[in-house]
């Protein structure tokens, strides 16, 4: 009898899980992390912590702002590595690659960076042109999770795995669309959720490719609605000034050539007049 009761309860649990819709799972998710309205009111964020890659650990600062501004600063062996998107162009500074000068990314990489919005893609997803689909449940490292496919307006697909008990994402699978890892599946594991001013967010992240960890990060401080001017994210002004100086030099060079040509014409005319 007890065995039959246990089987019946298990069957009811499985049915309840299957009966849930993607929208119901997302509703539980937003209620858990602080509510849609609270997240909509968030304008910017600054996070600090540590990151590790290839056996090295280093401090990291992440700045983000609506609608899709982002900047990551990493300090490695006294050198600063920067990756950013200013709303139009993705750019970086990477002394590890032999240059301390800022460099703009390719058009393809900038287009991909533009897709990463500050606001959670699930908020008003239908208005954004996205669709969601519940694909059942899977076990992620011992935890039962609802698998939801997010198909963005662009056609890009991402797969989210929501903890069936705690209602938060514990893993997200996406596919690199640009750069050296283009086409490869990237799995991002999220954990250590904490509350900050009423909002619940993951403080630890681990990214894997083909099952191998290539980056981990743990945030230790969060500043919500941080005062971040747009120029925090823009391609460095010094480089812009250099571009302007180059244009000025080119203009002066052109004007000098025109003046020289006019001077030569005047001399020629004067010489011809003198010979007459």
The answer on pLDDT for 158 being more than 60 is yes
CA distances to 64, 90, 151, 162 from 29, rounded to whole Å, are: 22, 31, 18, 8
pLDDT of 4 above 60: no
Q: Give dist(CA 92, CA 70) in Å, integer.
A: 12
User: Is 138 inside a domain boundary?
Assistant: yes
Nearest CA-CA partner of 43 in 224, 244, 175: 224
Residue 64 lies in a domain: yes
The reply to whether omega before 67 is within 30° of 0 (cis) is yes
Strand partners, 129: none
Distances (CA, A) of 266 to 185, 269, 272, 273: 70, 5, 10, 10
Residue 174 lies in a domain: yes
| 131, 151 contact by CB (below 8 A) | yes
67: domain range?
2-232
pLDDT tens profile 79-119: 999 999 999 999 999 998 888 899 999 999 999 999 999 99
The structure's pTM equals: 0.78
Torsions phi, psi of 2, nearest 5? Answer: -60, -40
Our count of domains for the chain comes to: 1
**CATH code, domain with 49:** 2.50.20.10
Is 246 contained in some domain? no
* CA-derived radius of gyration, the chain: 27
247 in any annotated domain:
no
7 is a domain residue: yes
Q: Are 161 and 145 in contact (CB under 8 A)?
A: yes
In a domain, 242, yes or no: no
Confidence tier at 260 by pLDDT (50, 70, 90): very low
Task: Say how far apart CA 26 and CA 142 lie, in whole Å.
Answer: 22
Q: Is residue 248 part of a domain?
A: no
Task: Give the H/E segment covering residue 273.
Answer: helix 237-275
d(CA 244, CA 25): 52
Spatial distance between the Cα atoms of 243 and 237, rounded to a whole number of angstroms: 10
Where residue 45 falls among pLDDT bands split at 50, 70, 90? very high
């Amino acid at each position: 009898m007890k065995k039959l009761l246990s089987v019946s309860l298990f069957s009811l649990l499985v049915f309840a899980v299957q009966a849930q819709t993607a929208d119901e799972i997302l509703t539980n998710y937003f209620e858990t992390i602080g509510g849609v309205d609270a997240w909509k009111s968030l304008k910017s964020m600054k996070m600090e912590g540590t990151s590790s890659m290839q056996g090295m650990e280093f401090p990291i600062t992440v700045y983000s702002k609506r609608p899709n501004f982002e900047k990551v600063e990493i300090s490695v062996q006294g050198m600063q590595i920067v990756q950013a998107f200013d709303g139009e162009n993705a750019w970086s500074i990477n002394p590890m690659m032999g240059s301390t000068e800022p460099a703009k990314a390719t058009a393809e990489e900038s287009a991909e960076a533009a897709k990463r919005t500050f606001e959670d893609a699930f908020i008003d997803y239908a208005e954004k042109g996205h669709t969601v689909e519940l694909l059942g449940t899977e076990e992620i490292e011992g935890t039962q999770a609802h698998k939801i496919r997010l198909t963005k307006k662009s056609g890009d697909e991402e797969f989210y795995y929501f903890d069936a008990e705690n209602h938060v994402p514990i893993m997200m699978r996406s596919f690199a669309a640009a750069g050296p890892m283009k086409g490869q599946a990237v799995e991002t594991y999220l954990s250590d959720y904490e509350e900050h001013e009423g909002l619940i967010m993951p403080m630890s992240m681990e990214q894997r490719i083909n099952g191998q960890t290539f980056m981990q990060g743990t945030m230790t401080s969060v500043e919500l609605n941080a005062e971040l001017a747009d120029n925090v994210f823009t391609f460095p002004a010094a480089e812009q000034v250099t571009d302007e100086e180059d244009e000025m030099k080119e203009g002066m060079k052109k004007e000098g050539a025109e003046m020289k040509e006019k001077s030569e014409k005047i001399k020629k005319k004067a010489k011809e007049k003198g010979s007459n």
